[in-house]
Structure 1
């Protein structure tokens, strides 16, 4: 299916690993030039070069921390090298582990900046350019935890829920400018972080990290497996395309049936 995305420009935060990197490759395969943002410069530059070579498109690695206003400003300014962007994917984020009664203000503020204010600041900086280009797409990678919280990461739950609401309200504001905004709530996706955690948790118990992950999938996902980053990335590509032209302000669960409600 031709997605009619060739020649467009996409900005992807958290673009050097996991879901963000999978989205970068999937969009590049469709002929999209990619601005890839991440904090770890060496890995980012290496992966950006690989994406460009594999798909014959242009990539621009931007080393920045979008959890800060300065980092967002760096990314916004760098995007102007492509004359702006047609697609913005707010993907940068990470899980948390705490209790509400013990987590300090500083931890709440960090995740608020990373999951919510990064999306706000990048919208303010990049959406005006989308208007000048005739329209665009903004996608937010939230989480099933935005609607079905996990007990051990309340800050992640709350900030991802806020991101989902921000996405909805932004969608209502910019749809008149031919800009579509949507949210994807993923379930269990097999990222390097999941593998790292599983190896740590099983290091003193025989090291069968794959069995641990299978147990997680069996417990939470009716499909009884983790999703691949490439599977989730394919859904993002569809939402970026005109094939999803009537999709505005929606939230989509891509979770192998993990969501327990309708």
Structure 2
């Protein structure tokens, strides 16, 4: 029996509708009217991860947050020790580990200058291979700055230079290293339009009034060094916060030493 064309067309249309519905419900799983869901990307902590033999970590959008949290755990003047890892069969061994540490040091800028970062290398066996997922290939540890009561110190940050003072001192000319540092800084900016803000700070030993004066004496002593090395006085602003803005506890010698400081901010 020969089927009429209209019936063949109707059967074909019905089959087409069935195929579309089958795909929609069983393949797309959209029978409830909801759009197909995509798997959410895996959440990361931001910690740098390295592939086998790679000297640079895998890009991670959460790294800035991880970095901020890491740097917040370090104290004023502390040194960050970055230990790069290498495995026994990775190419270049210890040199690869140091290269990884160097890349991570650069990623800590500008908040952490090179002068406050130390690089080390370590052999580990943790399962990283050519076919495995990326893994952590460095550790990060802080070395606390320890100073004797009579010592001065230079601390560089991304924006400022911090000079620590011995107890009850308004002068820093007892430390040739500090003099040399300030001279070099002046040479760098002598022909620029940079201005300098010099602010003195103290511990809480003594009265607030006396500490404001002591902080100002320290700031003026540093400003004089800048002027003696070619920086015009109109480019320098001095101030004192006395004991009002401590960065450490005043309950111990180390904390008080951290608070006896002058901060030099260079505004370009």
Asked if these proteins are the same fold (TM beyond 0.5), I'd say no
Is the radius of gyration larger for structure 1 or structure 2? 2
The structure richer in helix per residue is 1
If asked which structure has higher relative contact order (CA below 8 Å, sep 6+), I would say: 1
TM-score normalised by L of structure 2: 0.31
